[in-house]
Amino acid sequence: MTIIKGGLILSFICLIHRGTAQTTLGHLFSEEVSNISFPKNFKWGYASAAYQVEGAWNLDGKGPSVWDYDARNNPDWFINGQNGDVGPDGYHNVDVDIELLLRQKVNTYRLSIAWTRILPNGLLSGGINQKGIDFYKNIITKLRANNIEPVVTMMHWDQPRALEDNGGFLNESIIPAFLDYATLLWETYGDDVQWWTTFNEPKQICGGGYDWGWSSPQNLLPGIGSYICGHNLLRAHAKAYKIYNERFRETQKGKISVNLDLTWQEPATNSPEDEEAAERGRLFWLGWFAHPMVFGDYPEIMKQRIGDRSRRLNLTTSRLPEFTEEEKEELKDSIDFFAIQMYTTNLVTAQEDAPVNETSFDNDLSINSYQPDDWPTTLSSWFRVVPWGARRLLNWIRDTYGDEKGIFITENGYPDDQTILEDMDTRGRCHKLYLSNINDAIYKDKINVIGYLAWSLIDDVEWYGGWVVTFGQYNVDFTSENKTRTPKQSTEYYRKVVTTGCLVDDCVEPL
């Protein structure tokens, strides 16, 4: 079985096992759409990431990220040689893209800052690139001038290549480097930005980059690398959060989180074994990061399973590192809102534990997670349209972590052939049905969801997948000199939703 995420073809022999079970969940695939207006203060917008939209990989003093390095040194990892060297050239199209945001009437825009545009070799001691500072200052100032709230991610997968020569996230020396960078961003932009996330999808940074390999730098140490990376990343986040509390919070009054992602894990049957396997999947994939940042430590099931499997291999310590008491204190309660990104859902069945000598994250987890053949497909093999999964996921987050601080959906979208402009029945419908489930979560389940950011405004570089499959509501003509943007049908629908808060023609106000 193969799955494509970001265009990289991976074999998931143990993990993915599609097509054996026919779902009994068919009744949940309802086309019914809520007619209750979203809350008036709901955040509506789009999300983006520096590597995917900016291009200008080496212009005006920018240093190379791990992706820039791989575009040169491992070009065959990128489909058709399509990489982020130029991409949609957002670097030279700031005003054009802000015009699109204004056309869409959104009140929020999520962007990420390329660490190496600010600090070319990743380190403060290597010098600050003023042109990089100015580039983001200009965007943030223009967004604010147009009443569009910026949500800024400090690192969306594009860590400095220079730090990778020392092991990147496998070396704890990345922590002080990140803290210098985060501090500089708060000193520079903190008065204008209220919403921050330190990292985008740590599971993909750490698992993809150091364990299973669908993300650069693909420095793979299965069953070890992802945990060390995750540990250093979590410590970097907690220490950055502490710095914000001590130096910036009083004056800047911002909110900080980490963008977490989860493919919803639904038990294939109601047997206790499948229920347990699905919960284990959620805890390994989301709890790995959410538990420490809410409760101060990894989920018990991770500590227990990885510890046990390490002992049985005669290792003296667990492959999952331990936090010190001080680190637990720092980590506990270190997010100000819950940022979740969700795209699809898998069914889960229990399976026998993998042999302990084959170390990998997937084998530590040992579940069978798959998508049945009768679920609606898209052009991406990993993505089937499962709107009800959104509501289940939101319920689980509220029940597991609470929703007092607000749950913010910071990415959700639909992958398709980028040349298709008539996308109301595909992308538009997908946004509509997911939003309807989110609306049910808000009104029927009383969950505090504060916003929704569509991925994405324009077609961009889908990592190793180039622009073969994209998520944009605006088409980009990648062959044209100006990278011309053209609206797809879904822009009309999304604009209507954003301006009216209503998914159908006529809505009623909530009681």
Q: Which amino acids are annotated catalytic?
A: 201, 411
**Secondary structure of 406-443 in HEC code, one letter for each residue:** CEEEEECCCCEECCCCCCHHHHHHHHHHHHHHHHHHHH
# chain residues binding ligand BGC, by CB under 6 A: 11
Judged by CB under 6 A, the residue of 70, 89, 164, 261 near ligand BGC is 261
CA distance 95 to 70: 30
CA distance 85 to 89: 9
**Among candidates 454, 332, 340, which has minimal Cα distance to 397?**
340
Binding of ligand BGC at residue 411 (CB under 6 A)?
A: yes
Q: Could you tell me the smallest distance in angstroms from the CB atom of residue 471 to ligand BGC?
A: 6
Residue 285 and residue 389 in contact, taking contact as beta carbons nearer than 8 Å: no
Q: Could you tell me the smallest distance in angstroms from the CB atom of residue 394 to ligand BGC?
A: 18
Q: Could you tell me the smallest distance in angstroms from the CB atom of residue 179 to ligand BGC?
A: 23
| CB closer to ligand BGC, 360 vs 456 | 456
Q: Could you tell me the smallest distance in angstroms from the CB atom of residue 153 to ligand BGC?
A: 9
CA distance 428 to 129: 40
As a whole number of Å, the end-to-end CA separation of the chain is: 48
The H or E element spanning position 348 is strand 345-350
Other CB atoms within 10 Å distance of the CB of residue 297: 16
| CB closer to ligand BGC, 440 vs 462 | 462
Of the candidate spans 35-43, 200-208, 328-336, 473-481, the one that interacts with ligand BGC by CB under 6 A turns out to be 200-208
Binding of ligand BGC at residue 83 (CB under 6 A)?
A: no
Q: Could you tell me the smallest distance in angstroms from the CB atom of residue 255 to ligand BGC?
A: 19
Of the candidate spans 182-190, 196-204, 302-310, 329-337, the one that interacts with ligand BGC by CB under 6 A turns out to be 196-204
| CB closer to ligand BGC, 201 vs 279 | 201
Measured CA to CA in angstroms, residue 365 lies from 4, 271, 348 at distances of 21, 18, 12
Judged by CB under 6 A, the residue of 462, 472, 488, 493 near ligand BGC is 462
**Among candidates 410, 407, 411, which has minimal Cα distance to 445?**
407
What is the separation of C-alpha 27 from the centre of its chain, rounded to a whole number of angstroms? 29
| CB closer to ligand BGC, 36 vs 229 | 229
Residues 277-336 that bind ligand BGC (CB under 6 A): none
376 phi, psi to nearest 5 deg: -60, 130
Binding of ligand BGC at residue 14 (CB under 6 A)?
A: no
Q: Could you tell me the smallest distance in angstroms from the CB atom of residue 167 to ligand BGC?
A: 23
Q: Could you tell me the smallest distance in angstroms from the CB atom of residue 150 to ligand BGC?
A: 17
Binding of ligand BGC at residue 455 (CB under 6 A)?
A: yes
Helix (H, G, I), strand (E, B) or coil at 239: helix
Judged by CB under 6 A, the residue of 89, 158, 201, 403 near ligand BGC is 201
Of the candidate spans 99-107, 197-205, 277-285, 487-495, the one that interacts with ligand BGC by CB under 6 A turns out to be 197-205
| CB closer to ligand BGC, 49 vs 447 | 49
CA distance 379 to 430: 13
Binding of ligand BGC at residue 49 (CB under 6 A)?
A: yes
| Residue 260 CB contacts under 8 Å (≥ 6 apart), including other chains | 201, 202, 203, 286, 289, 290, 338, 339, 340, 341
| CB closer to ligand BGC, 279 vs 462 | 462
Residue 442 and residue 501 in contact, taking contact as beta carbons nearer than 8 Å: no
- In the complex, the residues that contact ligand BGC under the rule CB under 6 A are 49, 52, 200-201, 204, 261, 341, 411, 455, 462, 471
